[in-house]
Structures are given as structure tokens and as C-alpha cells.
Amino acid sequence: MSDVVIKVEDLYKQYRLGLVSTGTLAHDINRWWHKVRGKDDPYQLVTGENNRAVKNDSEYVWALQNINFEVRQGEVLGIIGKNGAGKSTLLKILSKVTGPTKGDIKVKGRIASLLEVGTGFHPELTGRENIFLNGAILGMTKFEIKSKFDEIVGFSGVEKYIDTPVKRYSSGMYVRLAFAVAAHLEPEILIVDEVLAVGDAEFQKKCLGKMKDVSGQGRTVLFVSHNMQAMSSLCSRIIYMQNGTLAQNGSVNDMIKKYFDDTIALNAGKPIREYIRDAKHYGQEVRIETLACTDQAYWRDNVKIKFSATRVNKNISEIEFGFGINDSSGLRICTYESDRSFTFQNSDEVELEIALTEPKFVPGKYFINIGVRSLNRTLDHIEFGASFEVLDIDVNGTHFGFTLGSSISGYIDTRAEVVQTVSNKKSERNL
């Protein structure tokens, strides 16, 4: 077993909600008064989980609660969770940008954090000057930067503009240069937050490759992203955060799958926005109230759709539901319709969860349309009410397509295996 390089113990972080400026003096005085009398901080008593959707009376909120975990040397630890789960707060504390409220973190080795690319870039300075400035901000010495300067410029691919002020750069060039500097840091522990969301596909691939190299050299990487594909190809272990607590900690696939499954619960319950109802009279007799589906799914993995509807006009019967799936260009892929005898039975409300089992969607983004009909009359219809994304890897990390890593798109997903190769000539595929 390799060494533990980061040990997080009972970590808590509290933030104040609302306007920080008003009443700070009063709170400070009150806090000081409690301290003088040897009592606890009166504003730390607030408990309860941090759920941003639910309004809380308290002015203070726990962004992180009771976080405990360890990271071993050479591990690539992914941190996932919905927005506001506390991922970035955790990274901020780890990178010493802000301190914890309670608990501590023990670290072995030099940490470099990349919470943003191009921190400290000065628009008036040239690319060359900014490489030095940014490198130094990230903790490199002048000597280190000098020795890697050519490598950095090469990686960024902006040689031609290196003596031009960065304010003249395109945003892509800016990001390339910035990431190039960061990629050549050589800390024992690297913390990366969502920075891969920028740059074009080719550059993203380059960045991922670089991060793989870094972890291959025995360095430890902590990585936050919403890009599950990057997560599953890079990470050796994943921490799943929910509402400021560590929900689970486990193997990459289990955690990502759980995250996908949970996204439907997150999206369900949100009322449908009026503008996506495509005719005014829809929803007057039977009304679709909510519609949600899994955000992302592995290739060939189940997709769940959940919706609820209310019967406004009680005399309507023989109701049938239907939903269809369109691809991102608007082309209908498939349509499903329920039995005509389907009714609300005794209730006026219905909630259904449908699982598309072993779907054969090629990787890409899909939209769900849903409708209600009775006796060939459309009662309600929602277009593009929810969407999901199919990744180009399956649960086991196998890529879609007939050779690993190649990207294939289209409409039909069928197995393609190489059954025979003919030397020099053409290869035959079982299509």
C-alpha cells in the first residue's frame, strides 16, 4: 500500500448567506462577547443539510459537513456531485484559498491547484511575460519555468504569438497558453477543477492525456468535473458529494452510475415551463406537470424517464400517453405509446417512471417529447421537455465504435466486430 498523502478529518465549512456587509459588525461583537464568556460561537449552532432548493431561516449555512477521506499517493481521485454539493469549496480549502471552519487536512508534499486557467494573466503583458508570471503564481521558480519554457510554448501551440500581448489573443489561444503553463507544473499533488470545459476537442484530449501522464508519474491528482467521460477514463476512485456531505466513496463505475441515477431525482419535481407547451389550449383538460430523465447515461445503459400528470377535467377517460425521442437535429428516433385503456383510474394524479432498458442510442444528445391524447384528440404536448446524453463509453469503459477511441455517429447502434483482416487490402466488417 502506498502512502497516504492527503488526510481530511472532520472537515466543516460554514458560509454566511445573503448580504455579508450588513450586520457584520453586530455579529462580530456578539461573537466576541460569547468568546469572552467562554461560550461557543453563537452562529455556529446552525445545523441541517445544505440544500440550496429549500429556503432556510438561518443566515448561515454549512457548505461542507463532516468530510473524512484519505488519498493515497499516485491515486487519481475524482469528485462528483451536482452544482452546490461542495466540490469546489472542498478544493478551495485543499488549495489553501480559504480556511476550513472546523477540522483539518494533513498534506504530504507540495500542492498545486488549478481552479481556473490563466490566473493572474495580465492582458497587457506578452505571452512570454505571462508564462513567467503565471508560472510563479502557481508556485514555480524562475529557473523551473526557464527550463521548461520551450516545452510550454510547444504544448500551447502559440509560438507565433508569444511576443504579443495576451489581450490580442483569441480566447482559445489564451486558454491553451494558460493550460500549457499549468500542465508543466510538477507538484506532488495536483488539484484540478473543471478546467477541461474550455478549449476545443483536440486540445481537451491533449489535456486529458497530460493529466494521465501526471498520474502515471506517481503524482496524486484530485479532479472535479461534470464530464463523466473524462472522469471514468482518468480516475481510479471517486468521491460522490451531496449537499455538502460525502455521500459515497467507491469505485468509479458505481459512483458515476449512482450519480446518473440521482440526476433524475434532482430534475423531477420541477414544474414544466409554460413556453415549451406548443399550443395554448394544451394542458386544459389533462396536464403534464413534470417531466425529467437521467441526465447522462453510459452507452447501452438504462435511461429513466419520469413524469407526472393531473386530470383537470374529470370526465375525460380513455387517456393514452405517448412519448418520443428526438436526436439533437430534431429527427425522431423512436416513439412509444401507451395502451388506450390506460386511465387515471381512481386518482386524478399520476406519476410514471419508465425505464428504457438496454437502449441502443448512439452516443449523443437526445430530447424527449411527451403527449397525452384521448380519442385522437391531443390534450397536452410537451416538446423538448427534457434531454439526456449518451456517453461514448459503456459501463465497463469500452468505447463505442469498431475500434477503440474512434468516434462513430449516426442513427443505428449495432455491434461491429472485426471478424477477419485481409492483409494489405481491405478489411471486412460484420456490419
Partner 1 sequence: MSDKQVWTEIISPQRGLFDVRLSELWRYRDLIALFVKRDFVSIYKQTILGPLWLFIQPLFTTLTFFFVFNKIANIPTDGVHPVLFYLSGITLWTYFSDCFIKTSNTFVGNASIFGKVYFPRLTTPISVIISNIIKLGIQTMLFLVVLCFLVITEGVEVKINATILILPYLVFLMAILGLGLGIIFSSLTTKYRDLSFLLQFGVQLLMYATPIIYPLSYTHGKMRLLLSFNPLTSIIETFRYSFFSIGQFDVWGLAYTTVFSVVTLGMGVLVFNKVEKSFMDTV
Angle (CA) 305-84-49 rounded to 5° is 95
Residue 119 sits in the site that holds partner 1 (CB under 8 A): yes
Site for partner 1 in 132-191 (CB under 8 A): 132-133, 136-139, 141-142, 165
Residue 20 sits in the site that holds partner 1 (CB under 8 A): yes
Residue 98 sits in the site that holds partner 1 (CB under 8 A): yes
Grid cell at residue 341? 385503456
CA atoms of 291 and 270, how far apart (whole Å): 8
Residue 103 sits in the site that holds partner 1 (CB under 8 A): yes
Residue 129 sits in the site that holds partner 1 (CB under 8 A): yes
Hey, is 290 helix, strand or coil? strand
Residue 408 sits in the site that holds partner 1 (CB under 8 A): no
Q: Are 81 and 259 in contact (CB under 8 A)?
A: yes
Residue 105 sits in the site that holds partner 1 (CB under 8 A): yes
SS (HEC) of 166-188: HHHCCHHHHHHHHHHHHHCCCCC
Q: Are 372 and 319 in contact (CB under 8 A)?
A: yes
Residue 17 sits in the site that holds partner 1 (CB under 8 A): no
* C-alpha 101: how far from chain center: 26
Minimum Å distance from CB 308 to partner 1? Answer: 40
Minimum Å distance from CB 236 to partner 1? Answer: 17
In this structure, are strands 102-107 and 245-250 parallel, antiparallel, or unpaired?
unpaired
Q: Are 5 and 73 in contact (CB under 8 A)?
A: yes
Beta bridge partners of 386: 368
- Indicate which single residue of 31, 34, 108, 237 sits in contact with partner 1 (rule: CB under 8 A): 108
Site for partner 1 in 306-345 (CB under 8 A): none
Hey, is 281 helix, strand or coil? coil
Q: Looking up cell 462513430, which residue turns up? A: 408
CA atoms of 84 and 260, how far apart (whole Å): 16
Task: Choose one: 117-125, 224-232, 309-317, 385-393; the region binding partner 1 (CB under 8 A).
Answer: 117-125
| Closer by beta carbon to partner 1, 178 or else 286 | 178
- Indicate which single residue of 96, 168, 340, 429 sits in contact with partner 1 (rule: CB under 8 A): 96
| Closer by beta carbon to partner 1, 143 or else 275 | 143
Residue 113 sits in the site that holds partner 1 (CB under 8 A): yes
Task: Choose one: 42-50, 128-136, 337-345, 388-396; the region binding partner 1 (CB under 8 A).
Answer: 128-136
Grid cell at residue 202? 483536440
Angle (CA) 217-221-224 rounded to 5° is 150
Task: Choose one: 100-108, 267-275, 286-294, 387-395; the region binding partner 1 (CB under 8 A).
Answer: 100-108
Hey, is 239 helix, strand or coil? strand
| Closer by beta carbon to partner 1, 136 or else 276 | 136
| Closer by beta carbon to partner 1, 237 or else 365 | 237
Q: Which residues contact 150 (CB under 8 A, 6 or more apart)?
A: none
Residue 106 sits in the site that holds partner 1 (CB under 8 A): yes
Residue 41 sits in the site that holds partner 1 (CB under 8 A): no
| Closer by beta carbon to partner 1, 102 or else 360 | 102
Residues interacting with partner 1, by CB under 8 A?
1, 3-4, 7, 15-16, 20-21, 24-25, 28, 70, 92-111, 113, 115-116, 119-120, 122, 124-125, 129, 132-133, 136-139, 141-142, 165
